[in-house]
Amino acid sequence: MSRWIPICAVLCLLGISPAQEIHAPQGVTAGEEASISTTGSGKAIFYLFGSGVSEKRDVNLGEEVRLPGSDLQSAGQYFAVLCSGDCNSVSFFVSPATPSILTFLVHPSRVPVAENDAVSGVAIPFDRYRNLVLAPEEVSFRLSAGKVSVLSRSVLAKDGIAWFRATSGKSAGPLQVTASLNDLETLRAVQQVASEPCNLRITGESNARGILVQTEPVHDCAGNPVPDGTIVTFTATAGGEKSTVDAPIKQDIARAQIAASGSAVISAASGVVMGNELHLGAH
Amino acid sequence: MKIILPIILVVGTAGLMVLALVSGGNARGTVGIAGGSAMFTPKSTTPQAALHNLLVDVQRRHWDRAYDALSRTSKADKEDFVQDWTGSNGSLRSFSALEGFDPRPLHITDDQADMRVALHWSTPVGPIEDVRDIHLVREGDIWRAVWPKYKVPTVPAEVVPVTYLRWDLVTGTADDQWGSKNVDAPRVRIISMNAVNTAEGAIVMGEVVNEDTIPAFVNVNATLVDGTGNTIDDETSFDKIDHVLLPKQVTPYRIDFPNIDLNKVKNVRMDVKAALVPASADPVIGVMDQKLDTDAQGKTVLQGELLNESGQTVNIPHVIVSFYDNSGKVVWVSDGYVDRALLPQSSEPFAVEIPRSVSDKVHNFHVVVNQYSLARS
């Protein structure tokens, strides 16, 4: 936009005492038709400069210059210049239209349960021409886990941005996050996951192949099952030799077969959490 | 003059043909091309000659002649003998070629001999050296190798129940708005890093953990920077890492900088990249009976057995080990491929070498098994 200002200044300086006048339109909305009134008589050349548009056409002085909505889709400052021997110019602003797109950014996509200020979202309204709507629109945020509402809050957008920050829910599973503005609604999903395992306990028994060892159902301290696939490392020490198995949790339980002969001490760990120790004798 | 030139050419060609026939047995022939001493194999009048002839036949895949050259006291049948050399079940050995060999005698009497041979294999993952002890006996005036029965792993017919576990990535379909497809990359962290100088160059090693609740495809990059801030070199962990990490899984990594002196390095910039990847939690491979030991060549090795606890064949197992000193610092990372396939519910031995310079410092170790399965590729 700023690059048009010197051009307009030059065109205007060419005119010493403009005989024609040009009047800027008031309250122009993006995508809507507008008109510029002129005074004087005879032919003139009309220039329009603005965001994404530059236009030149012949007009008759004293008539209205009609600007179609397609010329005014981008919000911002426009310059209209009228030249008939001398040049005269005006500037006017085009405001964004009503919001028709609600862009919604939510972070993170996965979050441990019951973590303070862990979920944040930013909603940005745009009109149908992708102009940022700067008017203070009221955006409603809703967070729900299943049928349980975790948060419901209305925020007035400031400079085109409305945002929230919230604590994650108490149970693992998908958290539906919705932003709505008038009849616009945008949905995002955040996966709430269990925290670190709590009270990792293992049991084992000897069998023909050695020792079958498995965890009890692995939960975090809030009772949420630790996600399947989480690795539990079983370590068996027997006679100066070490055996290890990295086993994934499946249906809440991690299970491993350890080929140990004689007695063995078996322990388990997952991440930074250690489990109990087992002292077993194999067949 | 018209007659002399053709005569010279014919005689020269014939001479070269004869030379080619009698000068066979180059142990380091071109891989994949059989050499041409089929007509004149030197008689196996010494243990060295017998072993050399046997290995040349193996190298050229002349299985009939190689098997016929074995002692009658050998316990291996021909099928076992061939499978011993060619591998099976899509193992690394089945994609490998014997590039060369270096035999040396261990103990020789009038009618018995023990030889140790270093076998140089050319494989898709790079050259691999295998050491094998071979017993030979004299039968008449011919020396022959006594081939032990190769224990072909057999798996009983059984049904192994598997609880399938996998992760699918759902991408937003509604529109292309900002934020509609933003699934965060997995959260991974470098938990240790150590840079050491060796005779071959600088080595950066350590461990990475997947702290997230989804699988991650991980790669570690290291950039060496000199005192003026200029980049000396930039390398990745390549195959010395377990790339697919399940939640809470830890993998060693090692990045080699050949011919670079660490004393010229002012700073090492580490960068770990993680991406969402579809993954499976199977197969589970246990690492049994791990212990530090000394191998036949006097080298310190960590050896043990890999136990496939699942119901699918692991074609190429790959072992990566981090070794810690008594303060828990990673002092070395070694890796090694197992050239036999790991059949369901069966085990295969493995060994990885520890350099002499760090073997005294090793206090503990952590073994990770990476695997390549043809069924999944």
Average pLDDT over residues A104-116: 90
**A139 contacts A154 by C-beta, under 8 angstroms:** yes
Is B35's pLDDT higher than 50? no
- Residue A244 to residue B307, Cβ atoms within 8 A: no
Question: How many angstroms separate the CA atoms of A23 and A39, rounded?
Answer: 9
Same-domain check for residues A189 and A105: yes
- Residue B307 to residue A246, Cβ atoms within 8 A: no
∠ CA A99-A103-A108, rounded to 5° = 155
Is B149's pLDDT higher than 80? yes
Same-domain check for residues A220 and A159: no
Is A146's pLDDT higher than 90? no
Q: Which tens digits make up the pLDDT trace of A50-105?
A: 988 899 999 999 899 999 999 999 999 999 999 988 899 999 999 999 999 999 99
Same-domain check for residues A91 and A123: no
B214 touches chain A (CB under 8 A): yes
Single out the residue of A227, A279, A241 nearest to residue A110, CA to CA: A227
The domain that holds A243 is classified in CATH as 2.60.40
Percent of chain A with pLDDT over 70: 92
Q: Which tens digits make up the pLDDT trace of B240-264?
A: 999 999 999 999 999 999 999 999 9
Is B43's pLDDT higher than 50? yes
B278 touches chain A (CB under 8 A): no
Q: Could you identify the residue written with the tokens 């098994």?
A: B369
**B290 contacts B367 by C-beta, under 8 angstroms:** yes
Determine the pLDDT at residue B3. Answer: 77
Same-domain check for residues A227 and A275: yes
CATH 2.60.40.10 range(s) for chain B read 188-276
- Residue A103 to residue B177, Cβ atoms within 8 A: yes
A224 touches chain B (CB under 8 A): no
The domain that holds A182 is classified in CATH as 2.60.40.1930
Percent of chain B with pLDDT over 70: 90
Q: Which tens digits make up the pLDDT trace of A156-212?
A: 999 999 999 999 888 888 999 999 999 999 998 899 999 888 889 999 988 888 889
Q: Structural domain tally of chain A?
A: 3
The domain boundary, picked from A193, A218, A246, lies at A193
The domain that holds A36 is classified in CATH as 2.60.40.2470
CB atoms closer than 10 angstroms to residue A159? 8
Chain B residues near residue A242 by CB distance under 8 angstroms: 290-291
Chain A residues near residue B368 by CB distance under 8 angstroms: 246
The domain boundary, picked from A66, A95, A124, lies at A95
Q: Which tens digits make up the pLDDT trace of B104-114?
A: 999 999 899 99
Could you name the CATH architecture of B188-276? Sandwich (2.60)
**B337 contacts B343 by C-beta, under 8 angstroms:** no
Chain B residues near residue A241 by CB distance under 8 angstroms: 289-291, 304
Chain A residues near residue B347 by CB distance under 8 angstroms: 259
- Residue A244 to residue B366, Cβ atoms within 8 A: yes
Determine the pLDDT at residue B32. Answer: 36
Chain B residues near residue A188 by CB distance under 8 angstroms: 179-180
A262 touches chain B (CB under 8 A): no
Determine the pLDDT at residue B163. Answer: 73
The domain boundary, picked from A95, A125, A141, lies at A95
**A217 contacts A223 by C-beta, under 8 angstroms:** no
Question: How many angstroms separate the CA atoms of B353 and B336, rounded?
Answer: 8
B64 touches chain A (CB under 8 A): no
- Mean pLDDT (chain B, rounded): 86
How many residue pairs bridge chain A and chain B with CB atoms within 8 Å of each other?
Answer: 108
Reported CATH class of domain B285-376? mainly beta
Dig out the tokens for B377 from the structure: 């590729």
**Which one of A245, A257, A271 has the shortest CB-CB distance to B248?**
A271
Q: Give the residue numbers spanning the domain of A111.
A: 101-193
Name the residue of chain B whose CA is nearest to A105's CA.
B179
Is B275's pLDDT higher than 80? yes
**Which one of B184, B209, B307 has the shortest CB-CB distance to A110?**
B184
Average pLDDT over residues B357-368: 93
B151 touches chain A (CB under 8 A): no
CATH 3.10.450.100 range(s) for chain B read 37-146
Instruction: Give the least confident one: A272-281, B17-26, B193-202.
Output: B17-26
pTM of the model: 0.76
A177 touches chain B (CB under 8 A): no
Same-domain check for residues A212 and A254: yes
Same-domain check for residues A112 and A171: yes
- Residue A229 to residue B247, Cβ atoms within 8 A: yes
Question: How many angstroms separate the CA atoms of B145 and B54, rounded?
Answer: 8
Is B40's pLDDT higher than 70? no
Could you name the CATH architecture of B37-146? Roll (3.10)
